[in-house]
Chains A and B, each alone.
Chain A
Amino acid sequence: MTYLAKPKFHHPSLPKNALGYTHRDYEGSISTLCAGCGHDSISAAIIEACFELAIEPHRVAKLSGIGCSSKTPTYFLGHSHGFNSVHGRMPSVLTGANLANRELIYLGVSGDGDSASIGFGQFAHAIRRGVDMVYVVENNGVYGLTKGQFSATADRGTKSKRGVMNNDSPIDMVGIALQLGATFVARSFSGDKAQLVPLIKAAISHRGAAFIDVLSPCIAFNNHAGSTKSFDYVREHNQAVNKLDYLLGRAPIAVDYAPGTLQVVEQHDGSKLVLRKLKDEYDVSDRVAAMNFLARHAAKGQVVTGLLYVDNEPEDLHLHLATVDRSLNSLGDADLCPGAATLEKINASLR
């Protein structure tokens, strides 16, 4: 048996959240990824975010494609339904799942190969449609699972561990997400839990297409000198534009920052995104400025992180399709079948 069960031992002193759940209730089975893989830190951040938000674990559906990153949904939220689909096609499966039941939280987990290479089209179209989801790309610039070939996010001029040069232009997932109308766009680093956890919380509470590109170094194949996706490189070139505090409910904000350095975005559910600006000119509600800012900094080799854009009046696919409030999967015969009398009328109209 290769199944690794975690001992279900609940220490009485483990902290509980508002629903009475402990961290353990949000964990999954033990990770089989390489020790030190960035992806494991992201799983930990997801567990932390769900714990802090006091989400009922089974109200989350986890979906992924194929890759080391796409394996991670087994390692968190063990009580949730998960779907390890096919390579690059998680977005369509998630879209369909979301159509069936709008009441769950949809967490899509993918890799840079999964979303920028084979699944680039599906990624783009799910974002375009405004599917209400949290879409996390665990971005390491390589295909970890198939042993280190370049993915489409690898920067031009970087060398693989085996010394192969990448001459192709990189795809910037964040830039694409902004261009295609994602209503929540962020970038973070698996090594910066303090930044990542509030971003995931904010993304979960966002009612639209939320995209987070998380740089997540591959210890095995892309953590060497000359890689722009290594721990050292990302740490040295990280330019955070803001620091996010996520506030639940309608608690007043204690303002103790200099005027103009704080930006507060109130979301539909009343939650507040309190952003301490680290770059004076940065405005998270300005999509075009965000794209411009990113392009300028990318040209300097810098990795811009933080909450990059948020629309506090997002629209989503269900709104566009004008679907009923009840989940479609809860509708039965009485709601769906027009019945024999109607069919008789249809027959009559066809004579």
Chain B
Amino acid sequence: MSVISPIRRVNDFVVRFANVNGSGSASANELFARAVLRMGVPVAPRNIFPSNIQGLPTWYEVRVSQAGHLGARGGVDLMVAMNPQTFDKDVASIEPGGYLLYDSTRPMPASRLRHDITTVGVPLTAICNAEYSDPRQRQLFKNIVYVGALSALLDMDMAEIERLIGEQFKGKDKLIQPNVHALQLGRSWVLENVSCPIGLTLARADAVGERIFLEGNAAAALGAVYGGATVCAWYPITPSSSVAEAFTRYCARHRIDPETGLHKYAIVQAEDELASIGMVIGAAWNGARAFTATSGPGISLMQEFIGLAYFAEIPAVIIDVQRAGPSTGMPTRTQQCDLLSCAYASHGDTKHVMVFPENPTESFAFAADAFDLADRLQTPIFVMLDLEIGMNHHLCAPLAWDDSRRYDRGKVMTAEELEAGRDFGRYLDVDGDGIPYRTYPGTHPTKGGFFTRGTSRDRYARYTEEGAPYVDNMQRLLKKFETAKAVLPRPVRRDAQRPAKAGIIYYGSTAPAMDEAIGMIEAEGQHLDMLRVRAFPFHQDVEDFIARHQTLFVVEQNRDGQMRTLLVNECGIDPARLIPILHYDGTPITARFIANAIGAHLDDLKVTPIRKIGA
């Protein structure tokens, strides 16, 4: 047996909580993560959960990183093993030299422990049973007791945790004292019985700054509030439900008329996704800003309607929080796997606009912008989140809003303009950008009314089934797609310090792992330029970036290289030029994975050899 010394690290480790779903552990775990943040140390927490409400295993992982690496790291340094069912697997997943904290009320036989880790047994159940008689209290406070234990083991600032509890139960002040008491129970037991701290410690730092801690779904919902959405129609599906739920919450706070108490919004939980997108289309046709939030299975059901919105040129915002397919299987695991089904959603020749936020800050901004884009371009806009962004708290830049900004309602002809005799052709390209004018229903008694249908109409919306007007219209739609490129978020380029022959293209939730990976790659003496794509159709910058590099990697979280397919298809790129780097096991992509995969290719390509990074 090799002798492995315990890991010793300050402000740089991964703690994983293994819990039973429904045991009330989520808020205690979050309390821990927030307390680290309050000490000025960045954290990246992640939920790993099955699609059940109670009884199945669930994990919460907190990556502590003073250096600010917020992508998943892989590996666990400290396991808080609270689920007997997964105990053996959880213990096995600890890095050599790592630590295990478990409930030692019934001590584990040595055979189920490991020699190369440090085990800390705290009799959590016994402590709680001695203190509380109510079984529900015993269960709930057990979670707080282990946070108390951790505070001692990791040398955390107790005052910060207590302050957080105070904030959490503000207004329900009676709950503050009992929670603080439970915290103390765990802390003092550990201080008396274990030599503290262990090798992993937290030290106050100043690395958080102005950043906020927020879930992508909540951020997107807030973006919809700021972007002026008044109609939300949705059908529950993980991982998108919390978008509509957060929208409901924010509207209740910010969208109620103070005089009447009436709502400046309408939220309908539809009977299915066909109905939710139908309602969005009806509302948007009628001049309201409307959106739905869904995930892949919902996108599948919406296909016919999305095509109609494309051809009938109706603004619609669709927030797609992506998860692994299909409808059963891995519904609670993250992936970037809906690009193709959104880009070309529906029958007939269709192409759709997508934006790819990297984190909650951009989820807010892009969701708000999506309503302007939809009105400007008169077409569906897909805001492509994923479970990783949507359902986890991320440390990210504060949300920003410019009060001088005005909603861009696009080209809408008014009653006055119609009255003044302005020519109105619903599908007439008056400005040469492919975008026609529209009118809202009910605008003028005798002018500007038109009948909306998919195609089979001329520039003045008159019925025709002839070929020439059809082609004319289809060409105009292509021109409009071209127009979109200039108004969508531009890609973000990060050039290597010296001229590079290889480049990396990536997008969305891959960003934090990529940021970390490039550091690892550079540490090995390799220099690559990077381009983060933020929208489809692709900006000219994307084609230029590809043209400028000999070797290109496209990093994404799906099996088929969906972004790569779009690049090949839309930019006419030789597929051989784009090397796919694909991660799709349902866990978020890690820096180690990217650095290793790209490193291996660089080896193969006989560019200066690079040795494997990490484990």
Contacts from A to B (Cβ < 8 Å): 1-3, 29, 56-59, 61, 63, 73-74, 78-86, 89, 91-101, 103-104, 121-122, 124-125, 129, 317-318, 321-325, 328-329, 331-333, 335-340, 342-343, 346-347, 350-351
Contact = CB atoms under 8 A, between A and B. Distances in A.
Contact of A78 (B231, B275, B449, B466): B449
7 contacts: A79-B445, A89-B274, A92-B276, A92-B279, A93-B279, A333-B228, A347-B398
Interface string B275-311: 1111111111111101000000000000011001000
A74 B464 CA distance: 13
B282 A97 contact: yes
B264 interface: yes
B263 A321 contact: yes
Nearest to A102: B266
Contacts of B284: 96, 100
Contacts of A121: 271-272, 275
Given A2-B466, A350-B214, A351-B213, A323 B228 contact: no
B406 interface: yes
A97 B284 CA distance: 7
A331 B228 CA distance: 9
Contacts of A346: 222, 399
Nearest to A338: B254
A100 B271 contact: no
Main secondary structure of the interface of B (DSSP, over half): loop
Tell which of B263, B274, B275 has the most Cβ of chain A within 10 Å: B275
Contacts of B290: 96, 100
A100 B228 contact: no
B51 interface: no
B453 interface: yes
Interface string B415-456: 000000000000000000000000111111110011111100
Contacts of A63: 282
B516 to A, nearest CB: 23
Interface string B259-271: 0111111111011
Given A86-B305, A104-B441, A322 B268 contact: no
B463 interface: yes
Contact of A329 (B255, B272, B288): B288
B225 interface: yes
A83 B266 contact: no
Interface residues of B, number: 77
Interface in B290-347: 290, 304-305, 308, 312
Contacts of A336: 225, 228, 230, 255, 264, 407
Nearest to B259: A324
Interface of B: 37, 208, 210-214, 222, 225-226, 228, 230-231, 233, 254-255, 257, 260-268, 270-272, 274-288, 290, 304-305, 308, 312, 398-403, 406-407, 439-446, 449-454, 458, 462-466
A340 B283 contact: no
Contacts of A332: 228, 407
A61 B222 contact: no
Nearest to B308: A86
Contacts of A86: 278, 304-305, 308
Contacts, number: 235
Contact of A84 (B399, B444, B445, B453): B453
A150 B445 CA distance: 40
A340 B401 contact: yes
Contacts of A58: 441-446, 449
Contact of B265 (A73, A83, A125, A328): A328
Contacts of A350: 212-214
Given A3-B462, A122-B278, A329 B286 contact: yes
A329 B440 contact: yes
B286 A100 contact: yes
Given A57-B445, A101-B288, A342-B254, A122 B228 contact: no
B283 A122 contact: no
B359 to A, nearest CB: 13
A13 B228 CA distance: 49
B288 A80 contact: no
A3 B275 contact: no
Contacts of B257: 324
A93 B260 contact: no
Contacts of B261: 322
A82 B451 contact: yes
A343 B226 contact: yes
A3 B464 contact: yes
Given A1-B464, A323-B266, A92 B282 contact: yes
Given A74-B463, A99-B279, A321 B451 contact: no
B271 A73 contact: no
B231 A328 contact: yes
Nearest to A342: B254
A8 to B, nearest CB: 11
A322 B264 CA distance: 9
B213 A324 contact: no
A117 B202 CA distance: 64
A129 B268 contact: yes
A-B interface, 9 closest residue pairs, ranked by CB to CB distance from nearest: A96-B282, A92-B278, A100-B288, A96-B279, A81-B441, A329-B287, A93-B282, A100-B286, A96-B283
